[in-house]
A = this chain, B = another copy of it.
Amino acid sequence: MEQIVYLNGALVPRSQARISPFDLGFLYGYGLFETMRAYSGLIFRLGIHMERLRRSAALIGLPLEALDLGKACYDTLKANNLADGRIRLTVSIGEGEATPNPPKHPRPTALVIAASYTPPSAKTYQKGYKAVVSLIHQNSQSPLSRLKTVNYLNQLLARREAKEKGADEAILLNESGLLCEGSTNNIFLVSKGNLTTPDEESGCLPGITRQVVIELAKELGLKVAEREVRLEELLNADEAFLTSSLIELMPLTEVNGKPIGESKRGKVTERLMSAYKEAVVKETKQGA
C-alpha cells in the first residue's frame, strides 16, 4: 500500500501530495517541525510536542490556531495502519512571493508523515554511540537555536562529517566552545551519579525527551544540573548519553576516539533507559 500523508486537511497518497514551490518553507526555510514516536497506537507526549510547536510558531509569526494538528497526526498514523512508528509534523508559513517578506495573510502548509521505524539494534544500545566533535558550531545568539526549524542544514552537514569520520554522531559546541547538543539529539553527562546537561542558554534545542529524562531522573532521586558545560567535562564524565524522541536514550561511549568512563553503557544510563521504557508502557496502557 502506498504511504498516505496528511497535507493541509486531506489524507492523500504520497505520490499525489504536492505543494507550491512558492512555499516560503521551500524558498526561505520559513517552517518548523516535530519528530515523534508512536507506541501501540499512542503518540508519546504529543501534547508537549504540540505545545513547543505552538510556542515556536508564535515566535516566528506562523499562525496555527485554526489547525488541529494532534488529530492530523493520529489520522495519518491510522491511515497507514501503523500502531508503532515515527511521525514527522512539518508546518511552514505557506505560499508567498519569492521575496524575503512574509505573506500578509499567511495560510500555513501543514504536513504529517507517518512511517514505520526500526530503532538501532540491541547491540548498538549495549555498545553505545561513538561521536566526534564537529567543526561546525551552533549559534546560541540566534533565537532559532531554541526552535526546531527546518533550517537544518548545519545539523545535516555535521552529521555527514561524523559519518565521514566513521562516527555515529556529531556533537556541536556553541560559538564559545561550550557543549551544546548532538546533531539530532540532546546530551547528558553522568558524574558521581548525578546528571548534567547544557542549559538552553548554551543554544541547545529544549528537547522533549530531554525534558522527560530530567523528570524521570528527579523521580529516581538524581540531581540534575542544567548549566554551561565544557567539553572537558564530557570527556571526564563517568557516563554520557544522547536523547531524542526516536532513539530515546542512547549511551555515548566514545568522543573523538577517547573513551567516556569505562567506554561502555553505564549503570545510571541503564536505570534511566529502563525508566523511560516504563514511562512509555505506563502511558500506553493509560491511553488504551
Q: Which residues of A contact B (CB under 8 A)?
A: 5, 7, 14, 17-23, 25-31, 33, 60-61, 88, 90, 92, 97-98, 100-102, 109, 111, 113, 115, 136-139, 141-144, 149-157, 159-160, 175-176, 183-184
Contacts and interface: CB of A to CB of B under 8 A. Distances in A.
Contacts of A33: 27
A17 B17 CA distance: 13
A21 B18 contact: yes
A29 B153 contact: yes
Contacts of A102: 156, 160
A150 B21 contact: no
A153 B144 contact: yes
Contacts of A153: 28-30, 60, 144, 149, 151
A120 to B, nearest CB: 13
A23 B27 CA distance: 12
A14 B22 contact: yes
CB-based closest 3 A-B pairs: A139-B139, A137-B141, A175-B175
Nearest to A155: B100
A161 to B, nearest CB: 10
A60 B157 contact: yes
A152 B28 contact: yes
11 contacts: A14-B22, A19-B19, A19-B26, A26-B90, A26-B150, A27-B90, A29-B153, A30-B153, A136-B141, A137-B142, A151-B152
Contacts of A150: 26-29
A33 B21 CA distance: 13
Nearest to A110: B21
A100 to B, nearest CB: 6
Nearest to A15: B20
Contact of A19 (B21, B152, B155): B21
A160 B104 CA distance: 13
Contact of A139 (B20, B156, B175): B175
Contact of A154 (B14, B88, B144, B160): B144
